[in-house]
Amino acid sequence: MRGPSTVGAVCVLCVTVSIVVAHLFSLQDRGGALWGADLWAFLPPWSSEVALAGVVLAAWPVCRWVIAEVRSPRAEP
């Protein structure tokens, strides 16, 4: 069954990846280009790693669900 829920979940995952990537990139670049997302760069590295692990854990069930949805056969119209 692939429908709006799958599209929504994929969009949520894309937003998650974008925000996490922006945060990770900002750890390397403190030039101010990512001033809305570079806060972890000013805290101990372990803290961002712990927080990131939390996001990965929270993302896993959504990923698993999306994969299952994509693999499942389309429902007959």
Residues near other proteins (CB under 8 A): 3-5, 7-9, 11-13, 15-16, 19-20, 22-23, 30-40, 42-43, 47-48, 51-52, 54-55, 57-59, 61-62, 65
What φ, ψ does residue 43 adopt, rounded to 5°? -125, 165
Q: What are phi and psi of 3, to 5 degrees?
A: -150, -160
- Write down the least CB distance from residue 70 to other proteins, Å: 13
CB of 34 to other proteins, least distance (A): 7
36 neighbors 51 (Cβ within 8 angstroms): no
